[in-house]
Amino acid sequence: MSEPLIYEISRAGRRAVSLPACDVPEAPFPADAVRADLPLPEVSEIDVVRHYTRLSQLNHSIDTGFYPLGSCTMKYNPKVNEVAARLPGFASLHPLQDALSAQGAMALIHSLQELLAEIAGFSAVTLQPAAGAHGELTGVLIMRKYLYDRGETQRDIILVPDSAHGTNPATTSMSGLKVMVVPSDARGNVNLEILRSLTAKHGPHLIGLMLTNPNTLGLFDENVEEVVRLVHEAGGLVYGDGANFNAILGIAKPGLLGFDVMHYNLHKTFSTPHGGGGPGSGAVGVAAFLADYLPGPIVVRDEDDEYAWQMPAKSIGRVKAFWGNFAVLVRAYTYIRMHGAEGLRQVSENAVLNANYLQARLRDVYPIPHSDRTCMHEFVAQGKLEGAPGINTMDIAKRLMDFDFHPPTVYFPLIVAEALMVEPTETESKETLDAFADTLIRIAEEARTDPELLKTAPHHAPVKRLDEVKAAKDMVLCYGPGCGG
C-alpha cells in the first residue's frame, strides 16, 4: 500500500508542536523578514516523523543491505567513526579559529598526514582535496608545475590506460593537457609494447602517466615496475590513482614501486561510504622531490612543538577553502588507529578473499574476462548469458533489487561489454556472499526460462525503471504546491 504524501494529509490548523503561552513581551519582528505565505503542510508530529522515516527508507543503504558497488566501494563505516566525528571538540570547532585553540584537531591532521605517507610509502601528504577526482587534479597540477619549473614547458601529454576511471582523462583535460590512451593487453595489464612505442615517440612531451593499480578490471598490473621505468626513462612522472588502495594496504607501497604522486580515496579505503554526493577526501601523497609543491597550508610541528599551518615553498596554491573535509579526516584517522598496521593488512586480505570467492562461485554462470587470474578487491563479470539473447546487464541489475541487493556497478569499465562490476568489500560474511551468488545464479536461470521477469524488474521498488539520463539532467528537486513537479 502506498502511503499518503505529506501535502495530501495536510489539514488547516493542524500543528506538530504546541508552545506554552508567551509570558514575555512580544519583540518586534521586521515586517520584511516575515514570510506568511509559505505553503507548508499542516500536520501533526507523528505525521512528520513518519514522513521523514519513510523517506529515509526509500533508498537502499549499506546499513540495511549488501551493496557490492564496484569502483565506488560502499564499504561499512564503523559506528565508532561517527562517535569520533561527533566529539564536541571536533564537531564544534570553527574553521576560522586560531591555531592555538585548535591544536587537537591539528594534531589529528598532522598524524593523519604522517600515517598516510607511511602506509603508501610517500614523503609528504596534503589532506585538502575534497574527493578522488579533486586529488587527481591536484596531483597533475603538481606534476605539471614541477616539470615546468625545470623549464620543460613543452610537456603537454598524459598517458591514460583504457581501463582508467573517467576522472583520469577528465583531470588531464581540465589541467589543459592532452590525453593519449594506452590500450590494455590480453591479460588486462597496460600493453607494454604500445607503451614502449608511445614513450619512445612522445617522450619529450610527456608529463607522465596515470595508472590505477589495481586497475578497474580488479587486476594488479603484473608489469607495474616496467611501466614506471618506461615513463621515468622518458622524463615523465607516474601518477597513481589510489582509489583502489583498499586492495593492497600493508601489502604493497606505491611510493616504493616508483609512483611519484598518488591520491587516496579516504572515503573508499578508510571507510565513510562513498557516493550519495556526500563529502569525501582525496588526500594526495608525493615523493620527497615534490613535497614543496603540495597545496597548502599543511600542518607542521614548529620549533616550540606546536602545530602550525605552513604553505609549502613552491606550492601550487590552495585547492580548497579552509582545511579539507575535516569530519571525513576524523573518520579515516579513527579507522586507521582502530585497525593498526596488522588490521589494515587484514582489511585488504579479506576484501581480496571475498572478491575471489564470489568470482569463483560465479565464473561458470556469467562470463568473467580474466577470471583465470586472481582478482584483487573486485572483478568484472558480463551480463551476457548463453541462451538468453534478449537479456542485458541492466535487466540483471534491476532484478537483483527484487531480492534486496543493491546492484553492482553497471556498464563500467567501458572496455568490458555489458560490464557488471562487483566489489563485496571486507566486512561481508560468507552467508551474505553465498546469498548474493545464489541469487545471481537464480537470475541467470530466470533469464532463460522467464526473461519477462527480468525485463519488467524491479517489481517491489518505490520507483520502477527510470529514464536515468532524464533523471540526472532534469531533476525535480521540489515537491508541493506550486512546484510543478
Which stretches of the chain bind ligand PLP, using CB under 6 A? 71-72, 131-133, 165, 167, 212, 216, 241, 243-244, 265, 274, 280, 282
Question: Given the complex with ligand PLP, which of 249 and 444 has the nearer CB atom?
Answer: 249
Give the residue nearest to ligand PLP (CB). 132
Is the Cβ of residue 275 or residue 480 nearer to ligand PLP in the bound state? 275
Closer Cβ to ligand PLP, 274 or 399, answer by number: 274
Query: What CA–CA distance (Å, rounded) separates 24 from 10?
Result: 31
In angstroms, the CA 303 to CA 208 distance is: 37
Considering the complex, state which of residue 155 and residue 165 has its C-beta at the smaller distance from ligand PLP: 165
Residue 435 CA, chain-centre distance (Å), reads 25
Q: Which is nearer to ligand PLP, 6 or 130 (CB)?
A: 130
Tell me the closest approach of the beta carbon of residue 171 to ligand PLP, in angstroms: 9
Nearer to ligand PLP, 41 or 281 (CB): 281
Terminal-residue alpha carbon distance, the chain: 22
Task: Give dist(CA 382, CA 415) in Å, integer.
Answer: 11
Which of 344, 410, 358, 351 is closest to 376 using CA atoms? 351
Interior/surface letters 161-185, b for 16+ CB within 10 angstroms, e for the rest: bbbbbebbbebbeebebebbebebb
The grid coordinates listed for 334 are: 579513527
| Residue 403 CA to its chain's centroid (Å) | 25
Nearer to ligand PLP, 75 or 274 (CB): 274
Shortest distance, position 369 Cβ to ligand PLP, whole Å = 18
Question: Least distance (Å) from ligand PLP to the CB of residue 25?
Answer: 53
Residue with cell 607542521: 300
Helices (H), 38-102: 45-56, 79-85, 88-91
Rounded Cα gap, residues 337 and 333, in angstroms: 6
> How near is the Cβ of 212 to ligand PLP at its closest, in Å?
5
Q: CB of residue 280 vs ligand PLP: minimum separation in angstroms?
A: 5
At its nearest, how many Å lie between ligand PLP and the CB of residue 328?
11
Q: CB of residue 161 vs ligand PLP: minimum separation in angstroms?
A: 11
